[in-house]
Amino acid sequence: MSRGEITLTIQRVQSKWAKTKVMLKSDYLRQYMPDTKLFSHSSLKSMLLEYGMIYVKPINGTFGNGVIRVERTFVPSIGYRYQLEQKILFFSSIDSLYRRLASQIKNRRYIVQKGIHLLRHQKRRFDIRVMVQKNLNNKWEATGIIGRLAHPKKIVTNYHSGGTPMSIEMLMSDHTTSSELAAFKNKLRKLSLNIAHHLQATYPNIKEIGVDIAVDLKLHPWILEVNTYPDPFIFRKLNDQSVFHKIYRYAKAYGRFKKRSNHP
Ligand SMILES: Nc1ncnc2c1ncn2[C@@H]1O[C@H](COP(=O)(O)OP(=O)(O)OP(=O)(O)O)[C@@H](O)[C@H]1O
Ligand SMILES: [Mg+2]
């Protein structure tokens, strides 16, 4: 097989906005998607007014880089709190907040998304990554679920930003009984498999997805984003090594580790 052909076998889609628009066409998926708009002065203003807390994210971002959390505050005074990594700033008006964001964003494209108040474990926020892959029979299979516990001072859970991968049994134990958790995991698998089938209609050559899911206090799952180049190695952190072994076996079979002539 030539290098060119290898490149064609696995499709990767970077744009969070393109993937969001495709998923919003599904009535089933829409109930799990936080309101998302392109960043502008008016979307910033309307979303902050409506939700009180929002995430501003680069359309082509990875590893949680450049992700900003903005919320309305009443303490120390009425205004807006902005956090990027560990830098926290306060603004007294939407206009001054917007100027700061615009200078940060420059000419890149960003989205604004309703912020979800994530569940916590030992005071730290966590979210969930579900891995879905083409199996050896070329059928979609949900192969792994793992939690990611945020660094206490960060607003993202990514491993590359100091997050700690951990089993969801450990993270959800304060929030569900074990039978509720089993039902919840089935719900996450069903949701993530549906995303894979739905995206495949538009992107026929995807082979794997990693779905980032936030869970709120009512245990409603929210799709934060869908990665088409998910890190398989995070699953090595689970005690149950059979999960990673299966993920690796499937990934190898569809050519995930072959050298590519262009990078994502
Ligand atoms: N709407 C949101 N509400 C609450 N937390 C969010 C929201 N959006 C993002 N986050 C937090 O920020 C993290 C990073 O955001 P996201 O997954 O969208 O981008 P990314 O990680 O940079 O992209 P990639 O996963 O492709 O590397 C999420 O895992 C989650 O912890
Ligand atoms: Mg992510």
pLDDT band at 1 (very low <50, low <70, confident <90, very high): very low
Same domain, 101 and 183: no
Residue 241 pLDDT? 97
Same domain, 109 and 129: no
Alpha-carbon distances, residue 136 vs 24, 78, 203 (angstroms) = 30, 56, 20
What are the pLDDT digits (tens) for 137-196?
A: 999 999 999 999 999 999 999 998 999 999 999 999 999 999 999 999 999 999 999 999
Residue 5 pLDDT? 44
Same domain, 128 and 64: no
In a domain, 261, yes or no: no
Same domain, 48 and 151: no
In a domain, 264, yes or no: no
The answer for residues whose C-beta is within 8 angstroms of residue 42's C-beta and 6 or more apart is none
For ligand 1, the distance from its centroid to the CA atom of residue 134, given in whole angstroms, is 24
Same domain, 152 and 231: yes
Same domain, 27 and 84: no
DSSP code, position 205:
T
Q: Where is the domain boundary, 114, 133, 150? A: 114
In a domain, 258, yes or no: no
Q: Which atom of ligand 1 is nearest to the CA of 61?
A: 22
3 state SS for 36-47: EEECCHHHHHHH
Residue 6 pLDDT? 46
Question: Residue 7 maps to which CATH number?
Answer: 3.30.470.20
The answer for residues whose C-beta is within 8 angstroms of residue 97's C-beta and 6 or more apart is 44, 70, 80, 82, 91
pLDDT band at 262 (very low <50, low <70, confident <90, very high): low
For residue 202, the surrounding DSSP H or E stretch is helix 178-202
How far apart (Å, rounded) are the C-alpha atoms in residues 82 and 90? 6
Q: Which ligand is nearest to the CA of 16?
A: 1
Residue by residue, DSSP assigns 4-63 as: HHHHHHS-----HHHHHHHHTT-HHHHTTS--EEE--HHHHHHHHHHHSEEEEEETT--T
Q: pTM of the predicted model, to two decimals?
A: 0.94
Same domain, 138 and 88: no
Q: Where is the domain boundary, 87, 114, 141? A: 114
pLDDT band at 76 (very low <50, low <70, confident <90, very high): confident
Residue 75 pLDDT? 82
Residue 152 pLDDT? 94
In a domain, 262, yes or no: no
In a domain, 205, yes or no: yes
Question: How high does pLDDT run on average in the chain?
Answer: 94
pLDDT band at 4 (very low <50, low <70, confident <90, very high): very low
C-alpha 124 chain-centroid distance: 17
Same domain, 143 and 89: no
Q: Is 137 helix (H, G, I), strand (E, B) or coil?
A: coil
In a domain, 138, yes or no: yes
What are the pLDDT digits (tens) for 213-246?
A: 999 999 999 999 999 999 999 999 999 999 999 9
Residue 264 pLDDT? 47
Neighbours of 77 (CB within 10 A): 8
Same domain, 122 and 234: yes
125 is written with which tokens?
């926020």
Q: Whose CA is nearest to atom 29 of ligand 1?
A: 157
Same domain, 240 and 166: yes
Share above pLDDT 90 across residues of the chain, in percent, rounded to a whole number: 91
Q: Which ligand is nearest to the CA of 157?
A: 1
Same domain, 152 and 245: yes
**Ligand 1: lining residues by beta carbon, under 6 Å:** 34, 55, 57, 61-65, 67, 113-116, 118, 127, 156-158, 212, 214, 224-225, 227
Domain that holds residue 59: 36-114
Q: Which atom of ligand 1 is nearest to the CA of 229?
A: 26
For ligand 2, the distance from its centroid to the CA atom of residue 233, given in whole angstroms, is 15
In a domain, 134, yes or no: yes
Residue 258 pLDDT? 87
In a domain, 263, yes or no: no
Number of domains in the chain: 2
Residue 117 pLDDT? 98
Q: Where is the domain boundary, 114, 149, 178? A: 114
Same domain, 190 and 106: no
Q: Whose CA is nearest to atom 1 of ligand 1?
A: 115
Q: Which atom of ligand 1 is nearest to the CA of 115?
A: 3
Residue 254 pLDDT? 96
